Amino acid sequence: MRSLIVPAIIAKEQSQIDTMLNKVKGKAERIMIDVMDNQFVPNTSLDFDFKLPTGFEYEAHLMVRNPLDWVRENGDKVDIIIIHIETLEDVGEAIEFVKNREIKVSLAMRPETQVDTVLEHIKKIDGVLVMTADPGHYCEVFLSDTLDKIKKIREFAENIPIEVDGCMDPENVKFASGAGANVFATGSYIFKSDDVDKALRELHDAIVS
C-alpha cells in the first residue's frame, strides 16, 4: 500500500495558509487542513471564508461539533472529508451525506475512543484517522498506546488507508508505520523546520516498508 506524508495546516487567516502552502509547493501532493471550532477542541482554525489554490489534493480534518454543517458550506473545496465519530449521532447517515456529494470520507477517532466504534463502519468508508496525540494543537505528547488501535484496524481491514495525526516526527512515523499506518499527517515537524526539504525527506525515510 502506498505511503504518503501529508503536511497539516492550522491557520487563523488566509495569509498563513498561503505561506505554508508555498513552503511545500511541489514537495507534497496532499494537504490536511485542520478545522477547529473551539468547541470540540479548545482552539480555532480555518473558521473563516478561506481559499485553497490548485496544485494539491486536500483533506479536511473536521474537529468541530457540527461537521455536516461544514460539509454543506465548504465541502466543495476539498477532496476528502475526515469526520470525528464522536461528533455523529447517526454514523451511517453522515457517511452517506458526504458520499452523495462525491467526496471521499474517512472516520477519525480521538485517542480515548474505542476502535470498535469505527470498525463496524469500515466497509463504508475510504479511510481511518487515528489520533496519536490529543487533538486541537500541534504536537504535545505522543500517545504510544494508540499504536494498538492501528494494529487492530490493519488486521481487520488489510487494504484500508490508515492515517495517523499527532506528533509525527521521524521516530513516531517509524512506530506508526510499523503498526500498519500508511498515511502520516504532520504539521509542526515540517512547518517549524528551517529546512522543509530535509524534514520531508527524514519523514519519508522513517517509513517502515
- Where do the domains of the chain lie? 4-206
Residue 3: predicted pLDDT: 97
Taking phi over 0 as left and psi of -120 to 50 as alpha, with beta for the rest, 36 belongs to: beta
pLDDT tens-place values along the chain, 209 residues long: 899 999 999 999 999 999 999 999 999 999 999 999 999 999 999 999 999 999 999 999 999 999 999 999 999 999 999 999 999 999 999 999 999 999 999 999 999 999 999 999 999 999 999 999 998 777 779 999 999 999 999 999 999 999 999 999 999 999 999 999 999 999 999 999 999 999 999 999 999 97
**CA distance linking residue 81 with residue 95, whole number of Å:** 10
Query: In the block, which residue shows the cell 470520507?
Result: 105
- Alpha-helical segments (H) within the chain: 14-24, 67-74, 91-99, 116-119, 147-156, 170-179, 188-191, 196-206
Architecture of domain 4-206: Alpha-Beta Barrel (3.20)
3-state secondary structure of 128: strand
Residue 209: predicted pLDDT: 78
Q: 109 with 149: CB under 8 angstroms?
A: yes
